[in-house]
Chains A and B, each alone.
Chain A
């Protein structure tokens, strides 16, 4: 290729790939580098140019600060709670939907509705559903003669209430993923098991579950990452309370930076959070790959 041809080649490449690459670097890579730098400084968002270098000071603060540790703990407990409930529920619904039952299409649509509804609307909806005196849930319990709950206002019930909300929201998504996994299982295998005298439970236990291992790990990864990033429930429903029991890390970062004007500390929390989320996803993806290779 001559010089002019080379130039034209690279000009074409630049036109096709350049805009995307430029925006990606500008809005993803530059902020990551900026975040690493900012986590070493003490400053405020009102006057970001007046900053003092504190080296690892923000990270040391983070290590000693019980509120930050609680935020991480709450977020992990939340993610664990969501995964532990979404997986069995959505698996059961997927098995149900995979059978030859009437109204399958309607159920699939209805279960998926919360997935296309915004987190803000869902958090709003559930704030009112869970309202201790005028909420739908307590009034339904009262109508049935059952005891009422305190939900978001109680230290012990707030986080479980939000886990139930997340279960309600994410079930449809996980169900669709399981369902596509189930549809990939050849009918012959189930038929063969039936011929060998396996009942429906045994078919699920010995045929379906082993074949869905890959899908399951995949759903676990997605649900973990989704729940680790929860933000709207804290802001809309509880303000992180009562006593920090629903103070998720994403909300903690937001509050530290934009309300308490400590973006340096918020950046340090972000760095630690990013490393943890990346590590968890990488480990889970390795497991996924190992399972896939079987």
Chain B
């Protein structure tokens, strides 16, 4: 009897947690496949129909691609995120090698400079950064969206940790064989840090894809909009939002990341837990 009660309580807790976290997603995704009137009809009262499109339509999605240029925004986001990932990996890996494998005067100063930026709230830098990036000629360009963030202190910190863990005997052996720093970096170190590199790539992609404040500040013309700006625009308080289309946009922006997350959950959780270091 006690066992049954125990299981029943466990099942009840499980049901509450799952519905609190899943119901909003289910409602958004289901409604994105519904016509405008059906979204409101299915809400009163709440029933299974609220979370399931009985008569699915893809009109909302078609309209987003044909009239609202969401395809363009998706492509822009993909370009920005890929460039940010590649740039971050390149800069952080090089610098992590320099800081762990080359002895030079001032390396402590370099690392201190990196550590200090950990605590800077980037939100407070948006105004000067906007003027600075504008002066450099990157305003309203996709380059301007990712270029300020590729020297990522978090990325350097994470890779530095990973590089430290590689036994130095490996480099010594290679050096005796006549390999220079570039050879050691490319053929000894990098192949041994595949997992940290993949984790950094994923976390950077996630941050870049989801970034909002900076793209909002630096991009003006609609043809340069990234996906988050496109979504934010469709809810803007000034106009009456079209519920179905907004939900479809939110679905398009979110589903790729969730699929990626479901497959690579291990890396995501580890990587994001590490970003905590930035706090």
Contacts and interface: CB of A to CB of B under 8 A. Distances in A.
A276 B265 CA distance: 35
Contact of B235 (A25, A231, A236, A249): A236
Contacts of B279: 218, 221-222, 224-226, 281
Contacts of B126: 253-254, 257, 270
Contacts of A23: 91, 147, 150-151
Nearest to A141: B46
A124 B217 contact: no
Contacts of A35: 124-125, 127-128
What does DSSP make chain A's interface, helix, strand, loop or mixed?
A: helix
A116 B206 contact: yes
Interface in B85-102: 90-92, 94-95, 97-99, 102
A29 B112 CA distance: 13
B181 to A, nearest CB: 6
Contacts of B113: 21, 24-25, 29
A253 B213 CA distance: 11
A120 B212 contact: yes
A115 B272 contact: yes
Contact of B44 (A32, A139, A222, A225): A139
Given A20-B91, A143-B46, A113 B272 contact: no
Contacts of A176: 269, 272-273
A166 interface: no
Contact of B132 (A12, A24, A30): A30
A125 B27 CA distance: 9
Interface residues of B, number: 89
Nearest to B121: A277
Contacts, number: 261
Contacts of B181: 12, 16
B161 to A, nearest CB: 16
A129 interface: yes
Nearest to B276: A222
A91 interface: no
Contacts of A71: none
A228 B150 contact: no
Interface string A260-275: 0001001100110110
Contacts of B17: 93, 107, 110-111
Contact of B95 (A10, A16, A125, A258): A16
B18 A107 contact: yes
Given A16-B102, A136-B24, A177-B273, A34 B151 contact: no
B141 interface: no
A96 B16 CA distance: 13
B21 interface: yes
A139 to B, nearest CB: 4
Interface in B9-41: 10, 13-14, 17-18, 20-25, 27-28, 39-40
A34 B128 contact: yes
Contacts of B52: none
B198 interface: no
B75 interface: no
A239 B237 contact: yes
A30 B120 CA distance: 13
Contact of B102 (A13, A45, A127, A172): A13
B128 A38 contact: yes
Interface residues of A, number: 95
B43 interface: yes
A99 to B, nearest CB: 9
B44, B90, B124, B228 pick with most chain A CB within 10 angstroms: B124
A266 B127 CA distance: 7
Contacts of B25: 113, 125
Contact of B43 (A101, A134, A172): A134
A21 B104 contact: no
A274 B122 CA distance: 9
Contact of B212 (A17, A139, A222, A232): A232
Interface in B145-191: 147-151, 153, 156, 181, 185
Given A274-B120, A274-B124, A118 B104 contact: no
A254 B39 CA distance: 34
A83 to B, nearest CB: 12
Nearest to A225: B279
A103 B14 contact: yes
B45, B246, B269 pick with most chain A CB within 10 angstroms: B269
A231 B213 contact: yes
Interface in A230-256: 231-232, 235-236, 238-239, 249-250, 253-254
Given A119-B212, A168-B24, A236-B232, 4 more contacts: A128-B243, A231-B123, A231-B212, A239-B237
Q: Which 3 A-B pairs have the closest CB atoms?
A: A16-B98, A118-B210, A23-B151
